[in-house]
Amino acid sequence: MHTFLAIPVLSIVTILQSAVVSRITLLHGTADIILLTIIAWALQEEVKTGWQWALIGGLLADFLSGLPFGIYTASYLLITGLTLALRVRIWRFAILVQLFATFLGTILSHALSLLAVIAQGTNLSFQTVLETITLPSLILNLLLTIPVYILIQELALQVHPRKIEL
């Protein structure tokens, strides 16, 4: 049931990403709110559908992007695995994990995208990419990660009300 919830939620997030967030740039970097949503969902207590959300989010992003199909799916699945591993180890500080996973996730996602772009025959300067795309994207993602976490936490509480032990 909670897997199906991913379809409307991530569809809205993907539309917002393409129609609004991708237009707001810092140098040439943009935030990735699909990535932030997937990380935030995977970090919620009681949530066991992190992988499914990553898969659906990845497929939606792949349908919308000009990158080779599967790049976003692979990125988001890898990032979910990373987030779940961090959640097990640092479970008390979910927001810290969110920040850390956002940092690593952005780097990982950009690395995979970059590999795909290079494979398509594009010449580029790594320094330029780092300075004008990856670091600005990282800053935007880190700025948005807490608001996204709070929104997803609210959603998770609606879906999985916490049990009170008497």
Partner 1 sequence: MKRRFPSFFRNIVFSLLIIGLLALALGGYVKTLSRLALTPIMAAQTWVSKQYTGFEDFITAPRDVTAIRQENARLEAENASLQAQIVELQQQLGEYQILAALLDFARAHPEHKYLGATVIGRDISPFLHYVIINRGSDDGLRRGMPIVTQKGLAGRVSQTTAKSARVKLITDPTIKVNVRIQPSRSEAILTGSITGDVTLEQIPQDAKINPGNLILTSGLGGNYPPNIIVGQVTSVRSQEYALFQSASVQPVTDFGELEIVLVITNFNPIDIEPLIPVPETP
- If the CB atoms of residues 95 and 129 are measured against partner 1, the closer one turns out to be 129
Note whether 66 binds partner 1 by CB under 8 A.
yes
Binding characters for partner 1, 23-52, by CB under 8 A (x = yes): x-x--xxx-x-x------------------
CB nearer partner 1, residue 15 or residue 143: 15
Chain centroid offset of residue 123 CA: 27
CA–CA gap between residue 90 and residue 85 (Å, rounded): 9
Q: How far lies 143's CA from each of 32, 51, 54, 132, in Å?
A: 11, 24, 21, 17
Burial class of residue 144, CB neighbours in 10 A (0-12, 13-18, 19+): middle
- Using CB under 8 A as the binding rule, whether residue 139 contacts partner 1 is answered as no
Burial (Cβ within 10 Å: 0-12, 13-18, ≥19) of residue 152 = buried
Cβ closer to partner 1: 21 or 104? Answer: 21
Interface residue list for partner 1 (CB under 8 A):
14-15, 17-19, 22-23, 25, 28-30, 32, 34, 61, 64-67, 72, 110, 113-114, 117, 120-124, 128-129, 132-133, 137
